[in-house]
Structure 1
Amino acid sequence: MLTSTLLLIAVLCAAVLIRVPYAEMSPGPTVNTLGEHGGEPVLSIEGRKTYEPSGHLNMTTVRVTGADYRMNLVEAVYGWLAEDSAVVPHDTLYPDDKSAEEVREENAEEFTQSLESAKVAALRELDVPVGERVVVASVVKGGPAEDRLHAGDVITAVDGEAVKQPGDVAELVTEHEPGEDVVFTVVPAKAARAAEKAGEKPTGSREVTVTTDEADDDGRAVVGIRAGLDHTFPFEIEIKLADVGGPSAGLMFALGIMDKLTPGDLTGGEFVAGTGTIDGEGRVGPIGGIGMKTIAARDKGAEYFLTPEDNCATAARDVPEGLTLVRVGTIDDALGALEDIREGETAGLPRCTAG
């Protein structure tokens, strides 16, 4: 008997000490995009008439174990058995070829881009003009453009030829041979931001010469920047939400912006939550951790959950009791579903079904 007890203790101790290459996902906080978080409005709009809608349009999150945390065997088994958590390979969340800091930076960048796309999609849906401009999205450390071009600089021309899309920049640069000079016409980021805040077109452009380098993979000429498309808005939209990363809140922020800019309530006062990426054209994309997000939404009190159509089959396999999963592929789909919800005509909602 004593031997068996000692053996059991030894096994349990070993299970606690053994580290396994897994990470855990669990339901995270949900935040009403129409309300406040941390004592401040999540959405603030200045320079345009706004309204105070009721109801909820909650974005949802997933809580994950940290990049440096290694689960022990007991924690992994418990997570596998629990209904409100998911255990996944560690490199699913934290790829081996990226540091923890690189993952955090990538998530933060994706979140920032999702906010930009949400604003664009919402305003275009409301027929509000949105301006576009090509900018320096990032500069490669140690590359030819470092300290010469900066993130946020507006690129108006390359070698005197006007650019309208980010791809134009790469095309014009690669017309050169490595070692040749490229002349960028740019408006510095600071001047561009000041002009946008004043509601004016950016001025004060200057020419910056960068000597090209040779790309490691194919030998083409490069300058070490990534060009992107930035947008300008006729009024200020500020979104405040700390400690959130990734692109999955785009749809709910877009709907929140629309609700604040239009009279009445998109939800009819109902509790609606959801998730999904969104692009500037209003297309809704899939996200990760859908099962954890539906649990979080229902625990908070949501009755309806706007679900990206590509996540529907997975989400429908285990739906929290009392939650209706509504399939959406575009912002128009979401608006149509919200109309049915506020009118009480929910029988015809496009629901998710298990595949």
Structure 2
Amino acid sequence: MTADAPDGVLHPPASIAVVGSGQLGRMFIQAAQRMGYEAGVLSATAETPAAQVADWTVLGPPDHLPALRALADRALAVTVEFENVSAPALRWLARRRIVRPGWRTLWVSQNRLREKTFLARHGIPHAPWRPVRTADELATAVRELKTPLILKTSDSGYDGKGQVLVERDGDAENAWSSLGRTSCVAEGWVEFAAEASVVVARGRDGRAVAFPVGLNHHERHILATTTTPAAVGPIVTQEAHDTALAVAQALGAVGVLCVEFFLTSAGRLLVNEIAPRPHNSGHLTIEAAYTSQFEQQVRALCGLPLGSCDLTSPAAMVNLLGDLWAGGEPRWDQALGDPGVKLHLYGKRTAKPGRKMGHITVLDPDPAQALARALAARRALTERG
């Protein structure tokens, strides 16, 4: 706690901040501003999505001590928008300001070896895996897991980066070399029927709430669509909620956390990854829930009671990637021809293939119809008359 907030509760118009300046930081800042807080960002440049809307910006890398000092001078509480923040930097900040989630939560989640070990220690179902740090461990992983398997770097992997499929035993050595022979985890192949996620908010008092399960579809390892509530049945829904809440409690996370699952054809849920911050699959909560994932992040950071995670309507979200700009500026007028389409653009200056530039959300009493309408709106963006 700090002298400015001895009980750990901050009321508007207190100054709060986020480390990380992408779209997640942008939407956190917008939620904080709606609630009356002054919201700043630690950003590499002044033109990032979050810096464009922030009340103030500290320029610098997230582990740069002068930048951290400047951040502590401006903000009474600090959160993060991505997990690959220096744990020592967060420890330094936490001695001076409220920091939620804490550095230990990020430390576990930012490294796949630590994350898998955490899941195993707490008995949380997950895919079989083995550590790969040496050639001998690679051989052991291939022998015990069998091929095909997925080789993933321990650090800095997202949206399919830092991972490679090993289809045959003889491919393993080359696959590891393609990843720089760095520390990895080998994951056994999982034949899954669907991918799902649950976003959880946990307060400083230990109370936690979960949003309805989202059904996710990925293309090229990047999230393409999310539909909620997921049509996975009441038993799987309850198991997903229970597991996600158990993960949040075991981590001691304060803030917002997403647990991504594989759902096997036999109906078994396996945890794939943990993201200790708001998640792409939760963007639709801005329109579809009583309290968005970003408002929950503000509430948890400031020590306020959490809001309701109930939906106001079933919904679907589709990501807008930079590929849509290949033929020129997308036709926003055509996409917005459906009056129920909600458009979010992140203010990124350059469109690149695979880069998340924005998203579309549609509310509809029928989740499948919400998805169909959202996909139709995305198709309309590139239709030329």
TM-score under structure 2 length normalisation: 0.26
Greater RCO (Cα-Cα under 8 Å, separation 6 or more): 1
Q: Greater CA radius of gyration, 1 or 2?
A: 1
